[in-house]
Structure 1
Amino acid sequence: MIRAGIYGATGYTGYELLKILTRHPKAAVGFASSTTYAGMRYSEVYPCTHEQVLVPPDQAPLGQIDVVFLCTPHGASAPYARRALAAGARCVDLSADFRLRDLAVYENWYGSHLAPELLPDAVYGLTEVYRQQIAGARLVANPGCYPTGPLLALHPLAREGIVIGDKVIIDAKSGVSGAGARPSPRTHFVAVHDNVSAYNVGRSHRHVPELEQELSLYAGRPLRVVFSPHLLPISRGILSTIYVSIDPSWNEQQVRSLWREAYQHEPFVQILDAGKMATLAHVVNTNRCAMSVSSAGIEGELILVTAIDNLLKGASGQAAQNMNVMFGLDETLGLPA
């Protein structure tokens, strides 16, 4: 039985992980930590039946743990990762602290890194792309919620060398849970209800360098991302519309076939048939990514649409999928397909 610990257990991603690990046949929760709610039972924080007593982070029994999940903000995760690895545990970090390989890029977007010596050890945790590296990793950097769907859609195209030009446009819309459990004026009910709003457009959203890092790596050359995120008046889910220019000798049927070949053995990637469009209804409360492709009406231009549940495939579900890979388990264990 894998003994798992959760730092930041009372945020949305921590709660999802607790639910996953509780039903996981090969894992058990060894500790769940919270600074705000330390000493309380989980059922006193959320309307649930989990009786796990929350411990202060500095009292987490790391010596009894096989894997630690960091559901903590960027900046806070890195010291916990250092502590967990020093205690002999493996680590899956759901923050941004280890996603960016270049320290200078990280510090430009997030500020000083508190454990830069660990960056070379981190494996980017997009399971379908980095499965072999994840299997042997001590430290996995779980992808951001917004990048997950577009990267899965674009990876086969970039690897095949059919993306032309230097720019990809991504318009993405997320449920409010993506903003985290702590409300702000922008995420209160009265601001979100009956409204759709864009935010952090252009080059101001912190997922831009993550998208560009990965897409440039897949393509073997620099690719620029124009990214426009939006907030939807729903609790969960991300729908991403991706505008991409490709080699004009390729069409949407060939791209769909390329996807099917690339993901034919992937339990959590759903390729939709011609004429079907990915929607949030395909994926909410599952660990799936649904993908569709359409012509933009002009030769060499395609519109890709991906849908994921931001709290599962975009966060806790993918984290548990990575844990399964790290410990040599069937990676579907504990996860809603």
Structure 2
Amino acid sequence: MTHAVAVAGATGYAGGEVLRLLAGHPEVRIGAVTAHANAGERLGALQPHLPALADRVLQATTADVLAGHEVVVLALPHGASAALAAELEERTPGTLVIDAGADHRLESGEAWERFYGSEHAGTWPYGLPELPGQRERLAGARRIAVPGCYPTTSILALAPGFTAGVLEPRDVVIVAASGTSGAGKAAKPHLLGSEVMGGMSPYGVGGGHRHTPEIEQGLSQAAGEPVEVSFTPTLAPVPRGILATATARLRSDVEPARVRAAWEEAYADEPFVHVLPEGQWPTTKAVLGSNHVVLQLAVDPHVGRVIVTAALDNLTKGTAGGAVQSMNIALGLPEQTGLEIQGVAP
């Protein structure tokens, strides 16, 4: 028996990527596809890379349309999911609702209000299965908050070191470059091709990026104590992908030779996270279109720091792939179902 899945926000980058993955998923049937301003149009006119769904007519994003599905994926801007999710809870409490937006990721209401400027909607189980203990929280869940793309990359880069107790929880520095699709599909002058091509630029500098508290939350869970992070994002002139360089101080009693083993042991049985052989470094191109993460690490003995570089596709593992992977766990399906797609080259 297949599971009926509705996708709200089907015309955006995240919604389109969710549909791309679901179209190849053997255990689901795609139900309603919805939009706001584009309701009534053909999906194919807005997502031409999805020919199997081209003739679907976009419906309005309402609880009436979404109710009755076993799974609802909300690929909506932050602030737009909470009210709709609450209405679905009243209408169909047994529905698995997966929020690909930010509304339900943070545990701290204070952090939410400080970074997002609105009332906190509550916290749902966090859809990062590779975080220790998280698969147990996702199994059978009816509500799942998909992590942000930067937090997925950053947490996976450093979590093994904190779990193993080899890293100091202070003075953690992460600099990450993302493709322009991370900013969404709405037209913005600074994201025009002529503005982006041939250059890189920082933004959210000085601890102002909204993903900072989410990164700290995930790494603190791995460490079992508060972790403080300085996070700086940059915009890269590519459509997709994130390359993060994350560094943390090595604890004084830890031998550098022990460090690599912590990451290799943590990810030895993970289907989607790969520690590359020594000497091989991650590239975003290697994971394009896939749910895979590649990473490499080194110890800088001069300053006693561990440096981890990680790459993933921000729309796949960073958003839609994380949603489908978590959905599989919640429904009791094999975790890799529908996600076996490899990277694209050249």
**TM-score bracket for this pair, using the shorter chain length:** over 0.9
The residue aligned with 1:12 is 13
Which of 95, 100, 104 in structure 2 is aligned with 1:94?
100
1:138 aligns with 2:142: yes
Task: Output the amino acid matched with 1:231.
Answer: L
Question: In structure 2, what is the Cα distance between the partners aligned to 1:84 and 1:167?
Answer: 42
Task: Output the amino acid matched with 1:163.
Answer: L
Question: In structure 1, what is the Cα distance between the partners aligned to 2:270 and 2:336?
Answer: 10
Question: In structure 2, what is the Cα distance between the partners aligned to 1:165 and 1:327?
Answer: 35
1:303 aligns with 2:307: yes
After TM superposition, give the deviation of residue 124 of structure 1 in Å: 1.1
3-state SS of paired residue (1:92): strand
The residue aligned with 1:26 is 27
Question: In structure 2, what is the Cα distance between the partners aligned to 1:141 and 1:253?
Answer: 37
Judging changes above 3 Å, is the alpha-carbon distance between structure 1 residues 195 and 251 closer, same or farther for their aligned structure 2 residues? farther
Question: In structure 2, what is the Cα distance between the partners aligned to 1:284 and 1:249?
Answer: 39
Give the superposed CA RMSD: 1.6
Report Cα offsets for 1:301-330 as digits up to 9, x if no partner: 111000000000000011011111111111
Report Cα offsets for 1:108-138 as digits up to 9, x if no partner: 1112237x3xx25x11111112111011211
Is 2:169–2:228's contact at 8 Å kept on the other side of the alignment?
A: no
After TM superposition, give the deviation of residue 296 of structure 1 in Å: 2.1
1:313 aligns with 2:314: no
Which of 283, 289, 294 in structure 2 is aligned with 1:290?
294
Which of 221, 224, 227 in structure 1 is aligned with 2:225?
221
Mapping for residues 93-132 of structure 1, pairs under 5 Å: 93-113=99-119, 116=121, 119-120=122-123, 122-129=124-131, 130-132=134-136
Where does structure 2 lack aligned partners over 5 or more consecutive residues? none
The residue aligned with 1:239 is 243
The residue aligned with 1:3 is 4
Question: In structure 1, what is the Cα distance between the partners aligned to 2:283 and 2:46?
Answer: 32
After TM superposition, give the deviation of residue 190 of structure 1 in Å: 1.2
1:83 aligns with 2:87: yes
3-state SS of paired residue (1:82): helix
Q: TM-score, normalised by structure 2?
A: 0.92
3-state SS of paired residue (2:35): coil
Judging changes above 3 Å, is the alpha-carbon distance between structure 1 residues 273 and 103 closer, same or farther for their aligned structure 2 residues? same
Report Cα offsets for 1:201-246 as digits up to 9, x if no partner: 1211000011112222222222211111111110100000011111
Task: Output the amino acid matched with 2:130.
Answer: E
Question: In structure 1, what is the Cα distance between the partners aligned to 2:89 and 2:304?
Answer: 47
After TM superposition, give the deviation of residue 281 of structure 1 in Å: 2.2
- Aligned length, in residue pairs: 333
Question: In structure 1, what is the Cα distance between the partners aligned to 2:63 and 2:269?
Answer: 42
Question: In structure 2, what is the Cα distance between the partners aligned to 1:132 and 1:59?
Answer: 29
Is 2:291–2:317's contact at 8 Å kept on the other side of the alignment?
A: yes
Question: In structure 2, what is the Cα distance between the partners aligned to 1:246 and 1:7?
Answer: 44
Task: Output the amino acid matched with 2:79.
Answer: G
Question: In structure 2, what is the Cα distance between the partners aligned to 1:203 and 1:249?
Answer: 30
Deviates more, 1:283-292 or 1:216-225: 216-225
3-state SS of paired residue (2:297): strand
Report Cα offsets for 1:163-188 as digits up to 9, x if no partner: 12512100100001001001212211
1:179 aligns with 2:180: no
Question: In structure 2, what is the Cα distance between the partners aligned to 1:172 and 1:90?
Answer: 32
Which of 255, 266, 269 in structure 1 is aligned with 2:273?
269
The residue aligned with 1:52 is 56
Question: In structure 1, what is the Cα distance between the partners aligned to 2:210 and 2:277?
Answer: 33
Q: TM-score, normalised by structure 1?
A: 0.94
Is 2:140–2:332's contact at 8 Å kept on the other side of the alignment?
A: no
Where does structure 1 lack aligned partners over 5 or more consecutive residues? none
3-state SS of paired residue (2:335): coil
Is 2:169–2:226's contact at 8 Å kept on the other side of the alignment?
A: no
1:73 aligns with 2:74: no
Task: Output the amino acid matched with 1:10.
Answer: T
Report Cα offsets for 1:79-125 as digits up to 9, x if no partner: 121122331311111111111111122111112237x3xx25x1111
